[in-house]
Chain A
């Protein structure tokens, strides 16, 4: 092997060594044994390798990019969110958080009530600041400002859920409302595995903007009222109250035939047993005659369910 051959082999190897260095697998290559002119060209080659390295895989199209989706940048009909220009930064994090809660409330068209002075504030876990309570039907979510990644958080939330059984979930958000996670009690409680012993609670999901995290939580829990095809027949049907009462009684009877073992299910069955089917049927008729719209019906039913459960 000639000297030139050895030098070429050395230069080939240097590229590999530099890539290993970039990947954290070795020290930065030493060029001091190379002639000065070669040192310069090799350094230029390194810069090119560095600029090109780790470019694959490239980002998917915006509509399919998981990060863009998580950031809420993708969505049909959503208008572009403009960035504030120079000198217009929103320095007060609290305001951003409040604005995000308003956004959630607006999205659900008033079905969510937001209490900015929640009664459980004094019981807030250490390191978290009580912000609000968001309530819809039987769901009450405590919203806190704090670090959703803090290692002591699950322990603090377990205690909080024990003190406040009426709270069904806790949402912990950064003060800028950009990193928020919703914790259900199961996400903050250790579980017992017969083989492995006590297991740490699993993390519910990666942090995402408050409006998305809370919005998704409520979307999953709110009942969906699907449009019924060919429902027009009901608007002209005679003795509709009788038909409604028969259908209602049949459904209630089916539910009552079950033999629940869990206490809260037994309680639910008791409530169902006490429902006044004639009153329910009259409600359906008021919708048929157009005296009540579907939103009002939902409100009435929610009120009846709430009264029965209390």
Chain B
């Protein structure tokens, strides 16, 4: 049983029971942590984060995550994202201070953000990740061009203008397509959730 790939929902019980290894935990949280790290850095620097900075943040955040006592955790992925976002903000501040060349004059280069994370914050990050997994399923059902648009301009760093230029469209047409794609995903998620609720009611 232990040789199987861990299911994200199984992570916490396995960790609490002492049956989770670090590599399996990392494999599950690496992507959500990278996303949260990019957010955190961007939030402070207002620029595309450097890959090395993102990796540094994920490294530090994972070290912090694995030190946590699993008894006090409500969602592993939610906590991983919450930590990575905070450490991303720390890294962002460090980058800004280096940019402003005030490195030498500041005794404590970075005031490290919170080390405890409220349940509310963790739950919000977990819900965010759950929404992402459902949205990703829905994304596969969109027409190819809509999928490409979302993948490049929302999930990736390409600007809408660049995408429109690449596809030979006007910015306005691309903008409309983008909203329609998001609307289609929204409806798909709603339908999925409604199916799940109905399924649960039938089962009970």
Which residues of A are interface residues toward B (Cβ below 8 A)? 8-9, 11-13, 15-16, 19, 22-25, 41, 44-45, 47-59, 62, 65-68, 70-71, 73-74, 80-89, 149-152, 176, 178-179, 206, 208
Contacts and interface: CB of A to CB of B under 8 A. Distances in A.
Given A12-B178, A47-B131, A52-B150, A67 B185 contact: no
Contacts of A66: 55
A85 B154 contact: no
Contacts of A22: 39, 42
Interface string B189-201: 1000000000000
Contacts of A56: 151, 155-157
B30 A67 contact: yes
B182 A24 contact: no
Given A45-B179, A70-B55, A206-B52, 7 more contacts: A48-B135, A62-B23, A71-B62, A85-B15, A85-B17, A151-B109, A176-B67
Nearest to A41: B186
Contacts, number: 168
A83 B22 contact: yes
B44 interface: yes
Nearest to A45: B182
Question: What 10 A-B pairs have minimum CB-CB distances, sorted nearest first?
Answer: A85-B18, A80-B21, A86-B71, A24-B46, A56-B156, A51-B132, A12-B175, A59-B30, A55-B155, A86-B16
A24 B41 CA distance: 9
18 contacts: A16-B160, A19-B153, A25-B46, A48-B182, A48-B186, A51-B132, A52-B139, A55-B132, A56-B151, A62-B23, A67-B26, A71-B26, A73-B26, A88-B69, A89-B69, A149-B109, A151-B107, A176-B63
Given A67-B62, A70-B59, A85 B43 contact: no
Contacts of B70: 83, 85-86
B18 A83 contact: yes
B154 to A, nearest CB: 5
Contacts of A82: 18-22
Nearest to B63: A178
Interface centre among B23, B38, B55 (most CB of A within 10 A): B23
Interface of B: 15-27, 30-31, 34-35, 38-39, 42-47, 52, 55-56, 58-60, 62-63, 66-71, 103-104, 106-107, 109, 128-129, 131-132, 135-136, 139, 150-151, 153-157, 160, 172, 175-176, 178-179, 182-183, 185-186, 189
A53 B155 contact: yes
Secondary structure type dominating chain B contacts: helix
Nearest to B22: A81
Nearest to B12: A86
Nearest to B37: A54
B59 A71 contact: yes
Nearest to A23: B42
A15 to B, nearest CB: 6
Contacts of A12: 172, 175-176, 178-179
Contacts of B103: 151
A242 to B, nearest CB: 56
Nearest to B24: A80
A19 B158 CA distance: 12
B46 A59 contact: no
B44 A71 contact: no
Contacts of A74: 23
Contact of A73 (B22, B35, B107, B160): B22
Nearest to B107: A151
A208 B19 CA distance: 25
Contact of B35 (A24, A54, A65): A54
A16 B46 contact: no
A15 B175 contact: yes
Given A23-B46, A51-B131, A55-B132, A83 B186 contact: no
A54 B155 contact: yes
Contacts of B25: 83
Contacts of B67: 89, 176, 178
B26 A51 contact: no
A45 B154 contact: no
A67 B182 contact: no
Contacts of B45: 24
B44 A62 contact: no
B61 to A, nearest CB: 10
